[in-house]
Structure 1
Amino acid sequence: MAFMTGQPSRPAWSPMEEWWYRDIVDPGKLPLLAALVSFVMTFLVTRTVTRLIRAGHGPFRNVSAGGVHIHHAVPGVVLMVAGGFAGIATGQAGWPGVLAAVLFGVGAGLVLDEFALILYLADVYWTEQGRRSVEAVVLTTALLVMVLAGVVPFGVDALSEEERRQRGVLAGTVLLNFAAALVSLAKGKLWTAVAGAVVPLIAFTGAVRLARPGSFWDRRLYRNRPRTRERARRRARRHDRRWSPVTGRLQDLLGGTPDDELRPR
């Protein structure tokens, strides 16, 4: 007993406290968690403000200097640079490292909220193309959550300890799954490639199915195969009719509805 040994007894921890110290504090993931939370919150707050400005409600206004509209990606880049270099300088140790992670997360949220503007080099924020920003934020959030949860990419965490010891099996599994994920990505299936990095079956399924129209695979390998290209287009149309309304509503909920006159007809 504690009073007989002279050592103080550890206070009983709740399951949440146990998880906090075992999975976040002890592995040194607190800066990553801080960056993730600040990233997501910044995106949500920024989208709320921009939607209020668009609707003409509230005290918020676009910022301009010398007749030039200052996009919020500009301060975002500054914060990312400051947070990144501060994190390197502190070595992510203690609260300075957490503060650096928060700065980086806020900056990343501001930059990726305007990812589509950087991608297309045009002000497409409220257009159909602007939805690429929402996709980039959701994709980044999913990857960060997987890293935070300790999920090892390419299905390595599904291997037994004996298989882990066999370097050949491990290397072969990683290479095959990585190749399948790359093929899925080349076929225009971004989300399948991301999910397949964790679940090998998803990557292989995406790799063997038909490519999306306009993808790298379609442009390079289907150009001399008109029947295959037509089958791929028919399948893509069926898929889009089924799922586009659902994904569109989710994107509208997160990022706002694109301008009606700029929607594809």
Structure 2
Amino acid sequence: MQPGERSTLVAWASFTATFAGVRALTHWIHDGHGPAGGGMSLGGHHFHHYNLGIAGLAGIGAVSLRGRERHRRHPLTAVTYGSALALIVDELALLIDLEDVYWSRQGRTSVDAAVTLTAAGATFAVGLPFWPHARRALRRR
């Protein structure tokens, strides 16, 4: 497996695991467990986890632009990318509606987007060995 293929697979797995973990954690908190008031607070205001995802993607963007090749190809870079993306996608409905719809019917948008991205990522990652063969076959035509 090539380094780019490995990074793609690690990022996809990280996205899937983080999304599932955050969904489980938020349901646990919503059911009355965890911190009083539910979730994270900063200065008395609810702090959404998509903010952590944006910060993670900003950091990974800096690594991809200015980092050494060994840092760009490091598994932790792929893990951070996949996890940060999952944190954002989990609250995508909030970003689309610009209001906290996480537990409402509109919050389903985030789940639908995550399932779609997970399925697309799985299809791409599983097909990685196939894509070079497909490219060669198309060139022969």
What TM-score range do you get, normalising by the shorter chain?
A: 0.7 to 0.9
**From 140, 147, 154, the counterpart of 2:117:** 140
CA 1:47–1:99: 2 relative to 1, 3 Å:
same
Task: Kindly indicate whether the alpha-carbon contact (under 8 Å) linking 1:113 and 1:133 is maintained by their aligned counterparts in 2.
Answer: yes
CA 1:95–1:85: 2 relative to 1, 3 Å:
closer
Deviations 1:19-44 (A, max 9, x none): xxxxxx33631111111111111111
| 1:121 positional shift | 0.8
1:164 aligns with 2:139: yes
Task: Kindly indicate whether the alpha-carbon contact (under 8 Å) linking 2:94 and 2:102 is maintained by their aligned counterparts in 1.
Answer: yes
Task: Kindly indicate whether the alpha-carbon contact (under 8 Å) linking 2:3 and 2:73 is maintained by their aligned counterparts in 1.
Answer: no
Structure 1: segments with no counterpart, 5+ residues: 1-24, 167-265
RMSD: 2.6
Deviations 1:157-190 (A, max 9, x none): 4x993x5334xxxxxxxxxxxxxxxxxxxxxxxx
Q: What's 2:99 paired with? A: 122
Distance 1:40 1:27 in 2: 20
Distance 1:62 1:143 in 2: 30
Task: Kindly indicate whether the alpha-carbon contact (under 8 Å) linking 2:29 and 2:39 is maintained by their aligned counterparts in 1.
Answer: yes
Structure with higher RCO (Cα < 8 A, 6+ apart): 2
1:191-206 equivalences under 5 Å are: none
**From 24, 33, 47, the counterpart of 1:48:** 24
Task: Kindly indicate whether the alpha-carbon contact (under 8 Å) linking 1:87 and 1:101 is maintained by their aligned counterparts in 2.
Answer: no
Q: Share of identical aligned residues, percent? A: 35
Q: TM-score, normalised by structure 2?
A: 0.82
SS in 2 for 1:28: helix
Task: Kindly indicate whether the alpha-carbon contact (under 8 Å) linking 2:56 and 2:80 is maintained by their aligned counterparts in 1.
Answer: yes
SS in 2 for 1:125: coil
| 1:58 positional shift | 4.1
Q: TM-score, normalised by structure 1?
A: 0.46
SS in 2 for 1:64: strand
| 1:100 positional shift | 1.2
Matched residue count: 137
Q: What's 1:64 paired with? A: 41
Deviations 1:99-127 (A, max 9, x none): 11111111111110000001111111011
**From 72, 95, 103, the counterpart of 2:80:** 103
Distance 2:5 2:55 in 1: 24
CA 1:31–1:87: 2 relative to 1, 3 Å:
farther
Task: Kindly indicate whether the alpha-carbon contact (under 8 Å) linking 2:64 and 2:72 is maintained by their aligned counterparts in 1.
Answer: no
Indicate the structure (1 or 2) with the bigger Cα radius of gyration. 1
CA 1:160–1:34: 2 relative to 1, 3 Å:
closer
